[in-house]
Amino acid sequence: MKIVIAPDSFKECMSAQKASITMKEAVRKVLPNSDVSMLPVADGGEGTLEVLTYATNGKIYETTVTGPLGEEVTARYSILGDKKTAVVEMAEASGLHLVPLEKRNPLLTTTFGTGELMKAALQHNIEHLIVTIGGSSTNDCGVGMLQAIGAKITDDEGVDITFGGGSLDQVAHIDLSQIDSKMNQVTLSVACDVNNPLTGENGASYVFGPQKGATPEMVELLDRNISHFSLVVKKATGIDIGYKRGSGAAGGLGAALLMCGGKLKRGIDLVLDALQFDDQIVGASYIFTGEGRIDNQTPDGKVIAGIVQRASKMNIPVIAFGGSVARGYEPLYEQGLLSVHSITQGPCSLEQALQKGRDNLSHTVQNVMRVIAGNP
Domain boundaries of the chain, sorted by first residue: 2-41+290-374, 48-268
What digits encode the pLDDT tens for the residues 247-272? Answer: 999 999 999 999 999 999 888 998 99
250 Cα distance to chain centroid: 10
Tell me, yes or no, if the two domains 2-41+290-374 and 48-268 fold the same way. Answer: no
Instruction: Please tell me the distance from the alpha carbon of residue 24 to that of residue 21, in angstroms, as a whole number.
Output: 5
Report the pLDDT averaged over residues 56-81: 97
Chain centroid to Cα 343, Å, comes to 24
Report the amino acid identity of residue 346.
Answer: G
> What pLDDT, on a 0 to 100 scale, did the predictor assign at position 376?
56
The arithmetic mean of pLDDT across residues 62-73, rounded, is 98
Q: Would you place residue 374 in the very low, low, confident or very high pLDDT band (cuts 50, 70, 90)?
A: confident
Judge contact between 141 and 107, C-beta under 8 A.
Answer: no
pLDDT digits (tens, 9 = 90+) for 141-152: 999 999 999 999
Please give the mean pLDDT across all residues of the chain: 93
Superfamily assignment of 48-268 in CATH? Glycerate kinase, domain 2 (3.90.1510.10)
CATH top-level class of 2-41+290-374:
alpha beta
pTM confidence score:
0.86
Between residues 76 and 298, which one has the greater pLDDT? 76
Residue 156 has pLDDT above 90, yes or no: yes
Mean pLDDT computed over 168-197: 93
Q: Is 328 exposed, middle or buried (0-12, 13-18, 19+ CB in 10 A)?
A: middle
Which helix (H) or strand (E) segment holds residue 79: the answer is strand 72-79
Region of poorest pLDDT, from 91-100, 111-120, 192-201, 251-260: 192-201
Average pLDDT estimate for 180-199? 92
Tell me, what's the pLDDT at 95? Answer: 94
Q: Which residues contact 342 (CB under 8 A, 6 or more apart)?
A: 294, 321, 322, 323, 324, 325, 364
